């Protein structure tokens, strides 16, 4: 059995999770503070991948980043970057597709912290950044862990969106979920089963770990 799809999937999930953590923390913090019509619209857009068929998202990304026109053409001509049928494209699609899984738990946890925690820190002369690092972040650890694991696990299971923008190029865009589909198409059920079992095991171990960790903190595992 070719293990490359598994390594490619883990690499994609790892990079997506790190990128989303870097993007998600400041965005979730900003979204958690106050409401405005702009924030509501942005949140709705970020939440769309939860309800939108992945193929629809993949189709629009394919159109948007096609090297034949628009942004895709400009990116190719200016920076020699191509998002369609490339690993970078998979990362971009995964970041967009898994964003609500990172942002949701973090934003919700930050909103649940009493405002007086930040205010107490400010009254000690601490900046917003110091307050975020020393007070807010350590107090949302369970939710942060949930967000990281859900994002990683969700990216492992992506299919429609990666197929649309990445296709099925061995060692480049052929991730495990595509390999399962491909094997079934070729009636190679034992290979499909092997890939599926590996994906199932990794995901199960990740999710059960979060449940166990959060259980000891007397919190709902999915908070």
Residues that bind another protein (CB under 8 A): 114-117, 119-127, 134-135, 138-139
Q: How many CB atoms within 10 Å of residue 152?
A: 23
For the record, the structure tokens of 152 come out as: 């990683």
Q: How far is the CB of 217 from another protein (least distance, A)?
A: 11
Alpha helices in 86-175 (DSSP H): 87-112, 115-123, 128-131, 141-156, 160-166
- Are 29 and 136 in contact, with CB atoms under 8 Å apart? yes
Rounded distance between C-alpha atoms, residue 12 and residue 90, angstroms: 7
Closer CB to another protein, residue 78 or residue 123?
A: 123
User: Considering the complex, what minimum distance in angstroms separates the CB of residue 26 from another protein?
Assistant: 19
State the minimum distance, in angstroms, from the CB of residue 212 to another protein: 21
Q: Which two tokens stand for residue 5?
A: 């799809």
Smallest separation (angstroms) from another protein to the CB of 119: 5
The SS3 of residue 44 is helix
Among residues 29, 146, 161, which one has the least CA distance to residue 95?
A: 161
Q: Rank residues 110 and 179 by Cβ distance to another protein and give the closer one.
A: 110
Tell me the C-alpha distance between 89 and 82, whole Å: 7
Q: Residue 34 or residue 114: which is nearer to another protein going by CB?
A: 114
C-beta of 115: minimal distance to another protein in Å? Answer: 8
């Amino acid at each position: 059995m070719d293990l490359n799809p598994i390594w490619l999937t883990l690499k994609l999930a790892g990079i997506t999770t790190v990128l989303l953590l870097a993007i998600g923390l400041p965005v979730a913090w900003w979204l958690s503070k106050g409401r405005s019509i702009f924030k509501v619209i942005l949140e709705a857009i970020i939440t769309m991948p939860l309800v939108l068929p992945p193929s629809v998202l993949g189709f629009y990304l394919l159109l948007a980043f096609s090297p034949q026109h628009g942004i895709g053409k400009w990116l190719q001509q200016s920076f020699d970057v191509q998002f369609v049928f490339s690993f970078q494209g998979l990362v971009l699609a995964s970041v967009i597709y898994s964003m609500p899984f990172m942002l949701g738990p973090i934003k919700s946890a930050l909103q649940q912290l009493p405002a007086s925690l930040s205010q107490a820190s400010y009254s000690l002369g601490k900046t917003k950044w110091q307050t975020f690092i020393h007070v807010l972040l350590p107090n949302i650890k369970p939710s942060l862990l949930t967000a990281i694991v859900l994002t990683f696990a969700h990216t492992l299971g992506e299919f429609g969106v990666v197929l649309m923008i990445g296709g099925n190029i061995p060692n480049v865009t052929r991730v495990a979920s595509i390999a399962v589909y491909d094997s079934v198409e070729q009636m190679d059920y034992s290979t499909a089963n092997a890939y599926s079992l590996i994906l199932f095991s990794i995901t199960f171990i990740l999710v059960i770990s979060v449940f166990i960790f959060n259980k000891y903190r007397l919190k709902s595992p999915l908070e």
